[in-house]
Protein backbone atom coordinates (compact mmCIF):
# COMPACT_ATOMS: atom_id res chain seq x y z
CA UNK A 1 0.00 0.00 0.00
CA UNK A 2 1.00 3.66 -0.33
CA UNK A 3 3.17 5.26 2.32
CA UNK A 4 1.32 6.44 5.42
CA UNK A 5 2.29 9.90 6.60
CA UNK A 6 0.16 12.60 8.22
CA UNK A 7 1.74 15.81 9.40
CA UNK A 8 -0.58 18.76 8.77
CA UNK A 9 0.34 22.32 9.76
CA UNK A 10 -1.52 22.19 13.07
CA UNK A 11 0.82 19.43 14.28
CA UNK A 12 3.85 21.59 13.62
CA UNK A 13 2.19 24.38 15.58
CA UNK A 14 1.35 22.01 18.43
CA UNK A 15 4.93 20.86 18.55
CA UNK A 16 5.96 24.49 19.06
CA UNK A 17 3.26 24.90 21.69
CA UNK A 18 4.50 21.85 23.61
CA UNK A 19 8.04 23.15 23.40
CA UNK A 20 7.19 26.64 24.61
CA UNK A 21 5.07 25.38 27.53
CA UNK A 22 7.53 22.72 28.63
CA UNK A 23 9.44 25.02 30.99
CA UNK A 24 6.18 25.99 32.73
CA UNK A 25 5.24 22.46 33.74
CA UNK A 26 6.63 20.20 36.46
CA UNK A 27 5.65 16.92 34.87
CA UNK A 28 4.48 15.47 31.56
CA UNK A 29 1.85 12.76 31.17
CA UNK A 30 2.42 10.96 27.90
CA UNK A 31 -0.65 8.99 26.86
CA UNK A 32 0.01 6.03 24.60
CA UNK A 33 -2.25 3.32 23.20
CA UNK A 34 -1.77 0.05 25.07
CA UNK A 35 -2.38 -1.90 21.84
CA UNK A 36 0.65 -0.25 20.21
CA UNK A 37 3.07 0.85 22.94
CA UNK A 38 5.91 1.35 20.45
CA UNK A 39 4.21 3.00 17.49
CA UNK A 40 2.21 5.38 19.69
CA UNK A 41 5.32 6.76 21.39
CA UNK A 42 6.14 9.74 19.27
CA UNK A 43 9.94 10.19 19.01
CA UNK A 44 9.49 13.96 18.67
CA UNK A 45 7.53 14.08 21.93
CA UNK A 46 10.23 12.05 23.72
CA UNK A 47 12.78 14.57 22.49
CA UNK A 48 10.70 17.53 23.68
CA UNK A 49 10.17 15.96 27.11
CA UNK A 50 13.91 15.50 27.54
CA UNK A 51 14.72 15.02 31.25
CA UNK A 52 11.43 16.44 32.56
CA UNK A 53 9.67 14.02 34.99
CA UNK A 54 7.28 11.87 33.02
CA UNK A 55 4.45 9.41 33.62
CA UNK A 56 3.37 7.13 30.80
CA UNK A 57 -0.28 6.16 30.67
CA UNK A 58 -1.02 3.03 28.64
CA UNK A 59 -4.58 3.90 27.81
CA UNK A 60 -7.43 1.86 26.34
CA UNK A 61 -6.35 -1.11 28.40
CA UNK A 62 -9.87 -2.49 27.97
CA UNK A 63 -9.01 -3.00 24.28
CA UNK A 64 -5.58 -4.64 24.65
CA UNK A 65 -4.64 -8.13 25.76
CA UNK A 66 -4.28 -8.05 29.56
CA UNK A 67 -1.23 -10.31 29.76
CA UNK A 68 0.52 -8.26 27.07
CA UNK A 69 -0.27 -4.98 28.85
CA UNK A 70 1.03 -6.41 32.14
CA UNK A 71 4.24 -7.44 30.34
CA UNK A 72 4.63 -3.96 28.87
CA UNK A 73 4.15 -2.36 32.28
CA UNK A 74 6.79 -4.67 33.81
CA UNK A 75 9.18 -3.84 31.02
CA UNK A 76 8.70 -0.07 31.21
CA UNK A 77 8.87 -0.10 35.01
CA UNK A 78 12.09 -2.12 34.93
CA UNK A 79 13.53 0.68 32.81
CA UNK A 80 12.68 3.10 35.66
CA UNK A 81 9.72 4.64 33.93
CA UNK A 82 6.47 5.21 35.80
CA UNK A 83 3.90 3.48 33.60
CA UNK A 84 0.23 3.07 34.48
CA UNK A 85 -2.43 1.14 32.56
CA UNK A 86 -5.74 3.01 32.29
CA UNK A 87 -9.17 2.75 30.79
CA UNK A 88 -10.59 6.23 30.53
CA UNK A 89 -13.99 4.93 29.46
CA UNK A 90 -14.56 3.26 32.83
CA UNK A 91 -12.01 5.27 34.81
CA UNK A 92 -10.00 2.16 35.78
CA UNK A 93 -6.40 3.04 36.64
CA UNK A 94 -7.00 6.76 37.10
CA UNK A 95 -6.91 6.66 40.93
CA UNK A 96 -3.47 5.00 40.75
CA UNK A 97 -2.44 7.86 38.46
CA UNK A 98 -3.78 10.41 40.97
CA UNK A 99 -1.64 8.78 43.69
CA UNK A 100 1.45 9.15 41.51
CA UNK A 101 0.58 12.80 40.83
CA UNK A 102 0.20 13.47 44.56
CA UNK A 103 3.63 11.92 45.16
CA UNK A 104 5.13 14.08 42.44
CA UNK A 105 3.41 17.12 43.97
CA UNK A 106 4.94 16.41 47.39
CA UNK A 107 8.33 15.83 45.84
CA UNK A 108 8.21 19.11 43.96
CA UNK A 109 7.13 21.10 46.98
CA UNK A 110 9.78 19.53 49.20
CA UNK A 111 12.54 20.79 46.91
CA UNK A 112 11.27 24.28 46.01
CA UNK A 113 11.28 27.48 48.07
CA UNK A 114 7.56 28.08 47.63
CA UNK A 115 4.67 25.64 47.42
CA UNK A 116 2.18 25.56 44.62
CA UNK A 117 0.03 22.82 43.08
CA UNK A 118 1.66 20.69 40.40
CA UNK A 119 1.43 21.87 36.78
CA UNK A 120 1.28 19.20 34.11
CA UNK A 121 0.96 18.80 30.39
CA UNK A 122 -0.77 15.91 28.61
CA UNK A 123 0.77 14.87 25.30
CA UNK A 124 0.48 12.03 22.83
CA UNK A 125 -0.39 10.99 19.30
CA UNK A 126 -3.95 11.69 18.09
CA UNK A 127 -6.96 9.79 19.45
CA UNK A 128 -5.23 7.95 22.31
CA UNK A 129 -7.56 9.43 24.94
CA UNK A 130 -5.75 12.53 26.24
CA UNK A 131 -8.92 14.61 26.58
CA UNK A 132 -10.82 11.63 28.02
CA UNK A 133 -8.12 11.31 30.67
CA UNK A 134 -8.42 15.01 31.49
CA UNK A 135 -12.17 14.63 31.90
CA UNK A 136 -11.58 11.72 34.26
CA UNK A 137 -9.05 13.63 36.34
CA UNK A 138 -11.12 16.80 36.53
CA UNK A 139 -14.34 14.76 36.99
CA UNK A 140 -16.03 16.98 34.42
CA UNK A 141 -16.72 16.83 30.71
CA UNK A 142 -14.48 19.84 30.28
CA UNK A 143 -12.46 18.67 27.29
CA UNK A 144 -14.01 17.74 23.97
CA UNK A 145 -13.46 14.09 22.95
CA UNK A 146 -14.31 12.07 19.85
CA UNK A 147 -13.64 8.78 18.11
CA UNK A 148 -11.48 10.28 15.38
CA UNK A 149 -8.03 11.89 15.35
CA UNK A 150 -7.67 15.67 15.59
CA UNK A 151 -10.51 16.49 17.99
CA UNK A 152 -8.57 18.84 20.29
CA UNK A 153 -7.55 21.92 18.35
CA UNK A 154 -5.84 24.33 20.72
CA UNK A 155 -4.26 24.26 24.15
CA UNK A 156 -6.57 24.20 27.13
CA UNK A 157 -5.64 24.57 30.82
CA UNK A 158 -7.83 22.70 33.31
CA UNK A 159 -7.82 22.74 37.10
CA UNK A 160 -8.29 19.62 39.22
CA UNK A 161 -10.27 19.65 42.48
CA UNK A 162 -6.99 19.64 44.43
CA UNK A 163 -5.76 22.71 42.56
CA UNK A 164 -3.32 20.92 40.23
CA UNK A 165 -3.28 22.29 36.71
CA UNK A 166 -3.33 20.31 33.51
CA UNK A 167 -2.71 21.43 29.97
CA UNK A 168 -4.51 19.43 27.23
CA UNK A 169 -2.78 19.48 23.85
CA UNK A 170 -3.81 18.31 20.37
CA UNK A 171 -2.40 14.95 19.30
CA UNK A 172 0.71 15.09 17.15
CA UNK A 173 2.62 12.76 14.87
CA UNK A 174 6.02 13.35 13.36
CA UNK A 175 7.05 14.55 9.88
CA UNK A 176 8.15 11.21 8.44
CA UNK A 177 6.94 7.85 9.67
CA UNK A 178 9.85 5.77 8.45
CA UNK A 179 8.72 2.45 9.88
CA UNK A 180 5.57 1.77 7.90
CA UNK A 181 4.55 -1.03 10.22
CA UNK A 182 4.24 1.67 12.87
CA UNK A 183 2.30 3.77 10.37
CA UNK A 184 -0.16 0.94 9.80
CA UNK A 185 -0.52 0.28 13.52
CA UNK A 186 -1.31 3.94 14.13
CA UNK A 187 -3.85 3.84 11.32
CA UNK A 188 -5.51 0.61 12.59
CA UNK A 189 -5.95 2.27 15.98
CA UNK A 190 -7.45 5.46 14.54
CA UNK A 191 -4.53 7.83 15.15
CA UNK A 192 -4.28 8.77 11.48
CA UNK A 193 -7.02 10.44 9.52
CA UNK A 194 -8.77 7.75 7.45
CA UNK A 195 -9.00 10.02 4.41
CA UNK A 196 -5.26 10.03 3.79
CA UNK A 197 -4.90 6.37 2.83
CA UNK A 198 -6.80 3.71 0.94
CA UNK A 199 -8.90 2.08 3.62
CA UNK A 200 -9.35 -1.17 1.63
CA UNK A 201 -5.56 -1.55 1.34
CA UNK A 202 -5.20 -0.90 5.05
CA UNK A 203 -7.87 -3.46 5.88
CA UNK A 204 -6.11 -6.08 3.75
CA UNK A 205 -2.93 -5.50 5.78
CA UNK A 206 -4.93 -5.78 8.97
CA UNK A 207 -6.54 -9.03 7.82
CA UNK A 208 -3.10 -10.40 6.94
CA UNK A 209 -2.03 -9.77 10.54
CA UNK A 210 -5.24 -11.24 11.94
CA UNK A 211 -5.01 -14.40 9.82
CA UNK A 212 -1.46 -14.89 11.04
CA UNK A 213 -1.89 -14.08 14.73
CA UNK A 214 -5.57 -14.15 15.67
CA UNK A 215 -7.35 -16.29 13.13
CA UNK A 216 -9.77 -17.71 15.69
CA UNK A 217 -10.92 -14.26 16.76
CA UNK A 218 -11.44 -13.23 13.15
CA UNK A 219 -13.33 -16.41 12.32
CA UNK A 220 -15.42 -16.03 15.46
CA UNK A 221 -16.42 -12.43 14.87
CA UNK A 222 -17.33 -12.88 11.21
CA UNK A 223 -18.56 -16.47 11.44
CA UNK A 224 -16.09 -17.58 8.82
CA UNK A 225 -15.66 -21.23 7.96
CA UNK A 226 -12.41 -22.53 6.52
CA UNK A 227 -12.38 -21.74 2.78
CA UNK A 228 -13.17 -25.22 1.49
CA UNK A 229 -16.06 -25.76 3.89
CA UNK A 230 -17.55 -22.37 3.15
CA UNK A 231 -17.62 -23.11 -0.57
CA UNK A 232 -19.67 -26.22 0.12
CA UNK A 233 -21.96 -24.31 2.40
CA UNK A 234 -22.41 -21.67 -0.21
CA UNK A 235 -24.05 -24.24 -2.44
CA UNK A 236 -26.29 -25.47 0.36
CA UNK A 237 -27.70 -22.31 1.86
CA UNK A 238 -26.72 -19.52 -0.39
CA UNK A 239 -28.07 -16.22 0.86
CA UNK A 240 -28.34 -15.30 -2.81
CA UNK A 241 -31.06 -17.86 -3.47
CA UNK A 242 -30.64 -19.81 -6.64
CA UNK A 243 -28.97 -16.99 -8.53
CA UNK A 244 -25.66 -17.59 -10.14
CA UNK A 245 -23.01 -16.39 -7.64
CA UNK A 246 -20.05 -16.71 -9.94
CA UNK A 247 -19.75 -13.00 -10.58
CA UNK A 248 -19.83 -12.15 -6.90
CA UNK A 249 -16.31 -12.43 -5.63
CA UNK A 250 -13.78 -9.78 -6.60
CA UNK A 251 -11.82 -9.91 -9.81
CA UNK A 252 -11.80 -13.71 -10.09
CA UNK A 253 -8.03 -13.58 -10.65
CA UNK A 254 -6.67 -13.21 -7.13
CA UNK A 255 -6.90 -16.46 -5.16
CA UNK A 256 -9.32 -16.42 -2.22
CA UNK A 257 -7.44 -19.18 -0.45
CA UNK A 258 -3.99 -20.69 -0.30
CA UNK A 259 -3.00 -23.90 1.49
CA UNK A 260 -6.48 -24.27 2.94
CA UNK A 261 -6.47 -20.76 4.41
CA UNK A 262 -7.99 -17.50 3.28
CA UNK A 263 -5.80 -14.95 1.63
CA UNK A 264 -6.46 -11.48 3.11
CA UNK A 265 -8.55 -10.66 0.03
CA UNK A 266 -10.42 -13.96 0.29
CA UNK A 267 -11.23 -13.21 3.95
CA UNK A 268 -12.39 -9.70 3.08
CA UNK A 269 -14.68 -10.98 0.36
CA UNK A 270 -16.10 -13.63 2.64
CA UNK A 271 -16.75 -11.05 5.37
CA UNK A 272 -18.45 -8.77 2.82
CA UNK A 273 -20.59 -11.66 1.63
CA UNK A 274 -21.58 -12.64 5.18
CA UNK A 275 -22.50 -9.07 6.02
CA UNK A 276 -24.24 -8.38 2.73
CA UNK A 277 -21.91 -5.59 1.60
CA UNK A 278 -22.82 -6.08 -2.03
CA UNK A 279 -23.52 -3.31 -4.50
CA UNK A 280 -25.69 -3.44 -7.63
CA UNK A 281 -24.27 -5.82 -10.20
CA UNK A 282 -23.17 -8.13 -7.35
CA UNK A 283 -20.03 -6.11 -6.85
CA UNK A 284 -18.40 -6.34 -3.45
CA UNK A 285 -18.38 -3.09 -1.48
CA UNK A 286 -14.77 -3.34 -0.32
CA UNK A 287 -14.71 0.10 1.20
CA UNK A 288 -17.74 -0.49 3.39
CA UNK A 289 -16.31 -3.82 4.45
CA UNK A 290 -12.94 -2.25 5.28
CA UNK A 291 -14.55 0.52 7.31
CA UNK A 292 -16.64 -1.98 9.23
CA UNK A 293 -13.74 -4.31 10.05
CA UNK A 294 -11.50 -1.47 11.18
CA UNK A 295 -14.26 0.19 13.21
CA UNK A 296 -14.98 -3.12 14.90
CA UNK A 297 -11.32 -3.59 15.74
CA UNK A 298 -11.06 -0.02 17.05
CA UNK A 299 -14.01 -0.46 19.36
CA UNK A 300 -12.88 -3.87 20.63
CA UNK A 301 -15.67 -5.90 19.01
CA UNK A 302 -13.24 -8.35 17.40
CA UNK A 303 -11.51 -8.94 20.72
CA UNK A 304 -8.77 -7.60 22.96
CA UNK A 305 -5.76 -7.41 20.70
CA UNK A 306 -2.25 -6.08 21.29
CA UNK A 307 -0.46 -5.45 18.00
CA UNK A 308 3.06 -5.04 19.45
CA UNK A 309 4.58 -7.64 21.76
CA UNK A 310 6.97 -6.60 24.51
CA UNK A 311 9.34 -9.55 23.96
CA UNK A 312 9.89 -8.46 20.36
CA UNK A 313 11.03 -5.02 21.43
CA UNK A 314 14.06 -5.83 23.53
CA UNK A 315 15.82 -2.50 23.17
CA UNK A 316 12.94 -0.13 23.81
N1 LIG B 1 -12.30 1.79 24.76
C2 LIG B 1 -11.74 2.92 25.17
N3 LIG B 1 -11.96 4.07 24.50
C4 LIG B 1 -11.38 5.20 24.95
C5 LIG B 1 -10.53 5.21 26.09
N6 LIG B 1 -10.09 6.49 26.28
C7 LIG B 1 -10.65 7.22 25.30
N8 LIG B 1 -11.42 6.46 24.50
C9 LIG B 1 -12.16 6.88 23.30
O10 LIG B 1 -11.18 7.22 22.33
C11 LIG B 1 -11.62 8.29 21.51
C12 LIG B 1 -10.57 9.41 21.53
O13 LIG B 1 -10.56 10.01 22.80
P14 LIG B 1 -10.05 11.52 23.02
O15 LIG B 1 -9.99 11.73 24.49
O16 LIG B 1 -10.82 12.47 22.19
O17 LIG B 1 -8.57 11.38 22.43
P18 LIG B 1 -7.45 12.52 22.27
O19 LIG B 1 -6.15 11.86 22.53
O20 LIG B 1 -7.79 13.70 23.11
O21 LIG B 1 -7.59 12.84 20.72
P22 LIG B 1 -7.08 14.15 19.87
O23 LIG B 1 -7.55 15.37 20.63
O24 LIG B 1 -7.79 13.96 18.59
O25 LIG B 1 -5.62 14.02 19.77
C26 LIG B 1 -12.99 8.71 22.07
O27 LIG B 1 -13.99 8.08 21.29
C28 LIG B 1 -12.98 8.15 23.48
O29 LIG B 1 -14.28 7.88 23.96
C30 LIG B 1 -10.30 3.97 26.78
O31 LIG B 1 -9.56 3.85 27.77
N32 LIG B 1 -10.92 2.87 26.26
MG1 LIG C 1 -8.11 15.62 22.55
For residue range 152-198, what is the model confidence (pLDDT) as tens digits?
Answer: 888 889 999 999 999 999 999 999 999 999 999 999 999 999 999 99
For residue range 9-61, what is the model confidence (pLDDT) as tens digits?
Answer: 999 999 999 999 999 999 999 999 999 999 999 999 999 999 999 999 999 99
Centroid of ligand 2 to alpha carbon of 200 (angstroms) = 27
Kindly tell me the burial class for residue 57, based on how many C-beta atoms sit within 10 Å of its own C-beta (0-12, 13-18, 19 or more). buried
Please give the number of the atom of ligand 1 that sits closest to the Cα of 133. 15
Closest by CA position to 88, among listed 40, 120, 128: 128
User: Near ion ligand 2, which residues have CB within 5 Å?
Assistant: 130-131, 151-152
Does the pLDDT value for residue 260 go beyond 90? Answer: no
Please give the number of the atom of ligand 1 that sits closest to the Cα of 134. 15
Closest by CA position to 143, among listed 166, 126, 120: 166
Taking the C-alpha atoms of residue 80 and residue 74, their distance in angstroms, rounded to an integer, is 10
Does the pLDDT value for residue 206 go beyond 90? Answer: yes
For residue range 115-163, what is the model confidence (pLDDT) as tens digits?
Answer: 999 999 999 999 999 999 999 999 888 889 999 998 988 888 999 999 9
89 CB less than 6 Å from ligand 1? yes
What are the structural domain ranges in the chain?
Answer: 9-178, 198-298
Taking the C-alpha atoms of residue 61 and residue 204, their distance in angstroms, rounded to an integer, is 25
CATH of the structural domain 9-178, one choice from 3.30.1520.10, 3.40.190.10, 3.40.50.300, 3.30.565.10: 3.40.50.300
Kindly state the helix (H) or strand (E) to which residue 151 belongs, with its residue range.
Answer: none
126 CB less than 6 Å from ligand 1? yes
Half-sphere exposure of 194 (CA within 13 A, CB side): 16
60 CB less than 6 Å from ligand 1? yes
Q: Where is pLDDT greater, at 36 or 244?
A: 36
Centroid of ligand 2 to alpha carbon of 275 (angstroms) = 33
40 CB less than 6 Å from ligand 1? no
**Crossing angle for the helix pair 199-213 and 215-222, nearest 10 degrees?**
120
pTM: 0.91
Give me the architecture of the 198-298 domain, per CATH: Orthogonal Bundle (1.10)
Compute how many other C-beta atoms are within 10 angstroms of the C-beta atom of residue 89: 15
Amino acid sequence: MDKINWYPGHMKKTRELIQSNMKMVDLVIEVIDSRIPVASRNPVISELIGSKPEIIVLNKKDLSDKAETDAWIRKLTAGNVTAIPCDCESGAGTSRLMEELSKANEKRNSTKKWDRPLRMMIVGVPNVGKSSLINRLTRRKAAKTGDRPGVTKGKQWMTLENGMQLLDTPGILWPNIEDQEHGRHLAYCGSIKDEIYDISDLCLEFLKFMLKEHREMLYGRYKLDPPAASEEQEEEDSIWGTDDTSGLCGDGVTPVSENGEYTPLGAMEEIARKRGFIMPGKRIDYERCARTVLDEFRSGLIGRITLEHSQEHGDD
